[in-house]
Amino acid sequence: MKEYNVVGHSVRRLDAVEKATGTAGFTSDMKLPGMLYAKVLRSPYAHARILSIDTSEAEKLPGVKAVATHKNTPRELFNTSATMTFTVPPMVPVLDQYIFDNVVRYVGDEVAAVAAVTEKIAEAALKLIKVEYELLPAVFDPLEAMTPEAPVIHESHKKNIPGGEVIQIPYGDAEKGFAESDLIIEKTFKVPVQKQAQMETQAAVAQVGLDGKITVWSTTQTPHPTKMILAKIFSVPESKIRVLNPPYIGGGFGVRIGLSAKAEPIAVALSMLAKKPVKIVYTRKEDFIASDTRHAGYVTVKLGAKKDGAFHAMYLKAILNGGAYCSFSCETPGVLGCMGMAVYRIPNQFYYGHSVYTNTTPSGAMRGFGNPQAMYPIESVVDMMAEQLGMDPLELRLKNIMQVGDPWPLPYKCSSTGLAECIAKGARSIGWEKRGKLNKPGAKKLRGIGMGVGTHCSNAWPWCGDYDNAYITVQQDGSIHLATGVPDMGTGTSTSLPQIAAEVMGVGLDKVSITFADSASTPFTIGSHASRTLYAAGTAVVEAARDARKQVLEYAGEFLKVAPERLELKDSVIYVTGQAVGNDCSGSGVCQTGESERKSISLKELAYNAHLRNKQFIGVGRIVPDNAPPWHAHFAEVEVDTELGQIRVIKVAAVHDVGKAVNPMIVEGQIEGGVLMGIGYALSEEIKYDEKGKQLHDSFHKYMLATADDTPEIDVMIVESNDPTGPFGAKGVGETGLVPTAAAIANAVYDATGIRFTEIPLTEERVFRALAENRK
């Protein structure tokens, strides 16, 4: 394998000291001169019409500078997610909400907002706003919402299906496939509402200049698309809006691909009214009730296999709860289907899926983006199939997993896979051979081992448009400046992208700096999501660096009087290699005669020499990414306390084919974090609603995140299949850590207890009831 100087090394993150010491800048830390603080009045009802709203008392409160309602803010329909900026025809983005509307559609929906000189005054003012509601019937379950008698949540979406969009993906002939199958298993699973629970709540600071320019610092994962959304809402040219992170954001996990809930437009609207900068920071409760969640829903898997274990047909169906407004409710079922269909070589498949409006908190993007909802059911059914076939589930998977060159339903190729190696390594780590032999008869604590596998994408195409751009400038001392519009939401991209730039430019990482996540300092990118940042934005960085490097070598060729092809750039020095043959001609046909006596020049000297000759090396990278599948096999060992119903995860072996780990330490961190999120998804995390649509789990005291206490031994292993399409062979890794985790745990619980759970999370209550039922 090729050895690199910077890429592939676990260098310490460039933001490590700043973050560890609390000096790194976040939106919630920001303070501008004259800045006001905003608070939002939210609906107490799941569905209601606002008959009247009286803000006069609130406006009179000393210190209140602006009150915004549906009466004095733009009536431009939008979608809080970036989907409205990069949905590619024939798909059409669903635009179904205003900053404030005269109908509220879930408990927490925005009714009004106040900007005041202190947060306390703003809060006090909220209580002075008088709203008269007419209650409307509400619905909370997607299946119920599809019935004819269900209330219509959006007038222009009659069947409660956002945009009326039902995704159907035929591949081969599923019907024929099932007819030809020897064994068929069908099962429907219920998956819960999970919350991103990112560290920093949704936040924005807006400054509307008197010159008409709008600057928004926010927690968005997508400064450029967010700029586009705001331009649409407020009817101003995009060039007049600057959106940036300041420069960090405290996590994302998909919760702010586009707007940070409605933090940005509320801050801008209030800033326009008050003519002062306005800051809004959601409370944790607001973040829970009024900020996208993972889609819950019902997923059906019907799998047909031949006697020898060869999968022959699959039918996959997903009905997802989209909540009150459409965020990524069209894309999520799309990715769910595509990813579910891409893991195994199944010649005959059919996928059917869509979201449904309900009067609950809107569902949107969350790490994995539909894929965990697909893989928990699929991998459960694969285990059931193995049992029916009498085969080892590991062997059954090995027999069926996708191979390089295999046809599949996706429009890009499967150009690399290390999944077999992932399975082998994970099995060794967990001790797969112990499976089924862990428990003594009569034991009250039962152990089990299970596995799950999966794939994912490395960027957003083909579900939406995806492209990226970057600038590289060689500074006058040969150091390198990189500008890219993607944020670093804690994933370390502000370290790994400079690593890529350093490697291509042949300099040490200490010579590279980065400007990121600022729409005014960088060319367009769709942002950080879809496991794309390193893969797609990284490819733009490679291209920009190659462009700059080419200019450097051409200039060095003139300086050293050799063809640029003979030059090597390493450790910030350009060396002449090889021998001249006759006149040394460059590719451009420029010939150098009379080779220089110098055989090398430092990049520092060359850059300054060029500077004195009026030249800076400026590289521009413009790329449209391909796509590539990362692969992963998770193995879990669990212990089930049969008296309490409590499940403890003992160990997870998480083996990931990431193509190439540009910074292995960062990759390991991503996978570990994903595994923990997957454990929460499997065992404890769920938002439920009461009968009036109020969240029952709207705080960290009520919503059971997996914490340090719940963390098992996690054996992260990296497999590098060097994908030909990724930068240095890299593929996406940001989301993969939780794709097969719940499946592996559920299969381990089955191994321990013999109970096949079709609903997660496997809470104590649910497990206790099932064990009791089982004992009957």
Contact status: 85 vs a second copy (CB under 8 A):
yes
Give the one residue of 133, 282, 471, 631 binding a second copy; rule: CB under 8 A. 471
**Near a second copy in 26-55, by CB under 8 A:** 29, 31, 33
Chain position carrying tokens 């004992």 = 775
Size of the site for a second copy (CB under 8 A): 59
Q: What is the dihedral of CA 250, 253, 256, 258, to 10 degrees?
A: 130
Give the one residue of 3, 442, 579, 612 binding a second copy; rule: CB under 8 A. 612
Closest by CA to 745, choosing from 478, 383, 489, is 383
Cβ-based nearer residue to a second copy, 52 or 614: 614
Angle at 439 between CA 435 and CA 445, to 5 degrees: 120
Q: Which pair of structure tokens corresponds to residue 701?
A: 């005291």
Give the one residue of 52, 62, 210, 765 binding a second copy; rule: CB under 8 A. 210
Residue 290 vs residues 109, 227, 278: alpha-carbon distances, Å = 7, 21, 19
- 108 neighbors 283 (Cβ within 8 angstroms): no
Please report how close the Cβ of residue 512 comes to a second copy at its closest, in angstroms: 6
**Near a second copy in 370-429, by CB under 8 A:** none
- 364 neighbors 257 (Cβ within 8 angstroms): yes
Span from 164-172, 609-617, 674-682, 754-762 in contact with a second copy (CB under 8 A): 609-617
- 280 neighbors 40 (Cβ within 8 angstroms): yes
Cβ-based nearer residue to a second copy, 182 or 238: 238
Please report how close the Cβ of residue 532 comes to a second copy at its closest, in angstroms: 13
Q: Who's near 441: CB < 8 A, 6+ residues apart? A: none
Contact status: 211 vs a second copy (CB under 8 A):
yes
Closest by CA to 476, choosing from 600, 618, 620, is 618
Give the one residue of 81, 221, 469, 663 binding a second copy; rule: CB under 8 A. 469
- 462 neighbors 530 (Cβ within 8 angstroms): no
Contact status: 715 vs a second copy (CB under 8 A):
no
Span from 341-349, 352-360, 477-485, 697-705 in contact with a second copy (CB under 8 A): 477-485
* 707 class by beta-carbon count within 10 Å (0-12 exposed, 13-18 middle, 19+ buried): exposed
Report H helices in 415-466.
Answer: 419-430
Please report how close the Cβ of residue 526 comes to a second copy at its closest, in angstroms: 9
Please report how close the Cβ of residue 227 comes to a second copy at its closest, in angstroms: 8
Give the one residue of 62, 89, 441, 582 binding a second copy; rule: CB under 8 A. 89
Contact status: 463 vs a second copy (CB under 8 A):
no
Catalogue the E-assigned strands of 311-379.
Answer: 311-323, 348-357
Please report how close the Cβ of residue 631 comes to a second copy at its closest, in angstroms: 26
Please report how close the Cβ of residue 465 comes to a second copy at its closest, in angstroms: 6
**Near a second copy in 616-635, by CB under 8 A:** 616, 618, 620, 622, 624
Q: Who's near 596: CB < 8 A, 6+ residues apart? A: 559, 560, 561, 562
**Near a second copy in 509-568, by CB under 8 A:** 510-513, 515, 518, 520-521, 523-524
Please report how close the Cβ of residue 20 comes to a second copy at its closest, in angstroms: 9
Assign residue 614 a region (left: φ > 0; alpha: ψ between -120 and 50; beta: otherwise).
left
Kindly list the strands in the beta sheet with 110-116, ordered across the sheet, starting from the edge strand earlier in the chain: 64-68, 110-116, 36-42, 278-281, 203-208, 214-218, 241-244
Cβ-based nearer residue to a second copy, 247 or 669: 247
Q: How many helices (H) and strands (E) does the chain have?
A: 19, 28
CA 412 to chain centroid, in Å, comes to 20
**Near a second copy in 229-268, by CB under 8 A:** 231, 237-240, 242
Q: Which amino acid makes up residue 546?
A: R
Please report how close the Cβ of residue 231 comes to a second copy at its closest, in angstroms: 6
Please report how close the Cβ of residue 99 comes to a second copy at its closest, in angstroms: 20
Cβ-based nearer residue to a second copy, 229 or 343: 229
Q: For residue 601, list its beta bridge partners.
A: 574
Contact status: 480 vs a second copy (CB under 8 A):
yes
**Near a second copy in 12-31, by CB under 8 A:** 14-18, 21, 23, 29, 31
CA 203 to chain centroid, in Å, comes to 18
Cα(675)–Cα(636) distance, rounded to whole angstroms? 10
Span from 41-49, 117-125, 187-195, 613-621 in contact with a second copy (CB under 8 A): 613-621
Closest by CA to 296, choosing from 688, 679, 673, 675, is 688
Cβ-based nearer residue to a second copy, 88 or 696: 88
Positions touching a second copy (CB under 8 A) are: 14-18, 21, 23, 29, 31, 33, 85-86, 88-89, 209-211, 213, 227-228, 231, 237-240, 242, 465-467, 469, 471, 473, 475-477, 479-481, 483, 510-513, 515, 518, 520-521, 523-524, 611-616, 618, 620, 622, 624
